[in-house]
Amino acid sequence: MLILGIESSCDETAAAVVADGRRVRSNVVASQQLLHAETGGVVPEVAAREHLRALPLVVRQALREAECDWDDLDYVAATVGPGLPGALLVGLNGARGLAYARGLSLIPVDHIEGHVCANWLLDDEPPLPALALVISGGHTELLLMEDHGRYQRLGGTRDDAAGEAFDKVARLLDLGYPGGPPVSRLAATAPERRLKLPRAWLSGSDDFSFSGLKTAVLHTVQAPDAPPAAEVAWAFEESVADVLSKKAARAAEREGVASVLVAGGVAANRRIRERIEERSSVPVFIPPPDLCTDNAAMIAAAAFRHLDDARPAEAPLDIRPMAYRSRVR
Ligand code: KG4
Ligand code: ZN
């Protein structure tokens, strides 16, 4: 079974063809990163307009790379939320139009579930129940995945998302947007590795908080005897990795899960991956970086688990942006 997935919730316009929710036939991503680097973050209206321009191109390329025709497809799937409203509208309505024109039904997909399902695009299939840690620019969510489509939210961030913290620290250190990769690269060059920045444990809860850490970074770099930026970047990354890995390991043990699934753009971070793997007593699954950051293969993979939700393209269907904060700051 072939599903064409479409993703447009933030600043990547993506289309992919996935077979049976497991095998990636094509995975095309047009990133708007360069465009948003100029403003230091995503301007929602600019993102929406850019999705409109890129969507037909990525869809055509996804079909070409998958060597398939519209007739070979079984469904079209699109992200309905959470995400930026204007951005979601372009992807969802583009998907509806395409499905309508080709007589295909449409499957609405939750972006967070998409990130989790990227773990089904790996060679080995994760055993369930699983603990899922979704860490991205917009989200930090700890979920108990009992089965496909059956999730319990254990906790999440109370302020900044993990990726948002990387982006804000990058801004403090003048490293540009998005912040994760340059902060991580700078951290790797730290000559001294002794600086200790705070960790918000929020004991007794599965929630996270990263805004205090961000403020601590601000105070550290503004101090008259400020350490080199690389050391600050290293200590920041260590603090995030420590909190994420310990809290995930603790929740996994308490819930008695069979595996830990990590997903979202921040899962591309090497130190965070290593810490989580070190501390987990059950197998850890982490997709390769191109399936961690926003993509449409994960949307098609999640859609495969929700074939019951398929509906005629012309049926009313609205976006579900939820409380997604503007990424401009
Ligand atoms: O999942 P994603 O592509 O988009 C959202 O749904 O938010 O995640 C993007 C986020 C950005 O905040 C970016 O800085 C972060 O993931 N990120 C990283 C790394 N690569 C991307 N954070 C830390 N280390 C990385 N290597
Ligand atoms: Zn995402």
Residue range 200-220, pLDDT digits in tens = 999 999 999 999 999 999 999
Rounded to whole angstroms, the Cα distance separating 35 from 17 reads 26
Structural domains of the chain sorted by starting position, each given as residue range(s) with its CATH number in brackets: 2-117+291-312 (3.30.420.40), 128-286 (3.30.420.40)
CB burial readout 229-247, b (16+ within 10 A) else e: bbbbbbbbbbbbbbbbbeb
Residue 128 pLDDT exceeds 70:
yes
Residue 326 pLDDT exceeds 80:
no
Residue entry with tokens 């079209």: 76
Task: Give the residue whose CA is nearest to atom 8 of ligand 1.
Answer: 265
148 — phi, psi (to 5°)?
-60, 130
Q: What angle do CA 11, 41, 57 make, to 5 degrees?
A: 25
Ligand number nearest to the C-alpha of 113: 2
Rounded to whole angstroms, the Cα distance separating 264 from 323 reads 18
Candidates 266, 270, 290, 328: which one to mutate for ligand 1, based on the most atoms within 8 Å of Cβ?
A: 266
- Give the pLDDT mean for 164-189: 95
Task: Give the residue whose CA is nearest to atom 10 of ligand 1.
Answer: 137
Candidates 29, 293, 326: which one to mutate for ligand 1, based on the most atoms within 8 Å of Cβ?
A: 293
Rounded to whole angstroms, the Cα distance separating 90 from 234 reads 39
Q: What is the pLDDT of residue 259?
A: 98
Question: Residues with Cβ within 5 Å of ion ligand 2?
Answer: 136, 294
Taking the CA of residue 164 as reference, the ligand 1 atom at the shortest distance is 12
Rounded to whole angstroms, the Cα distance separating 310 from 146 reads 22
Compute CA 303 distance to the chain's CA centroid, rounded to the nearest angstrom. 16
pLDDT digits (tens, 9 = 90+) for 236-288: 999 999 999 999 999 999 999 999 999 999 999 999 999 999 999 999 999 99
What sections of the chain are H helices per DSSP? 33-37, 44-65, 85-102, 111-117, 162-172, 180-187, 211-222, 229-255, 270-279, 289-292, 297-304
Q: What is the pLDDT of residue 232?
A: 98
Taking the CA of residue 115 as reference, the ligand 1 atom at the shortest distance is 1
Cβ atoms of residues 303 and 20 within 8 Å: no
Burial (CB count <10 Å: 0-12, 13-18, 19+), residue 40: middle
Mean pLDDT rounded to a whole number for the chain: 95
Tokens representing residue 128 in the block = 């369930």
Instruction: Name the helix (H) or strand (E) containing 135.
Output: strand 130-135
Rounded to whole angstroms, the Cα distance separating 44 from 51 reads 11
pLDDT digits (tens, 9 = 90+) for 81-120: 999 999 999 999 999 999 999 999 999 999 999 999 999 9
- Give the pLDDT mean for 140-168: 96
Q: What angle do CA 325, 327, 329 make, to 5 degrees?
A: 110
Give distance in angstroms: CA of 179 to centre of ligand 1: 8
Radius of gyration of the chain (CA): 20
Q: What is the pLDDT of residue 327?
A: 35
**For the chain, percent of residues with pLDDT exceeding 70:** 98
**Would residue 99 be called left, alpha or beta, if left means φ above 0 and alpha means ψ between -120 and 50 degrees?**
alpha
Q: What is the pLDDT of residue 34?
A: 84
pLDDT digits (tens, 9 = 90+) for 19-66: 999 999 999 999 988 888 888 788 898 899 999 999 999 999 999 999
Give distance in angstroms: CA of 101 to centre of ligand 1: 35
- Let me know how long the chain is: 329
In the three-class reduction of DSSP (H, G, I as helix; E, B as strand; rest coil), residue 194 is classed as: coil
Residue 168 pLDDT exceeds 90:
yes
Rounded to whole angstroms, the Cα distance separating 207 from 223 reads 30
Q: What is the pLDDT of residue 328?
A: 34
Instruction: Name the helix (H) or strand (E) containing 77.
Output: strand 75-81
Q: What is the pTM of this model?
A: 0.94
Cβ atoms of residues 210 and 217 within 8 Å: no
Tokens representing residue 292 in the block = 């961690």
Q: What is the pLDDT of residue 255?
A: 98
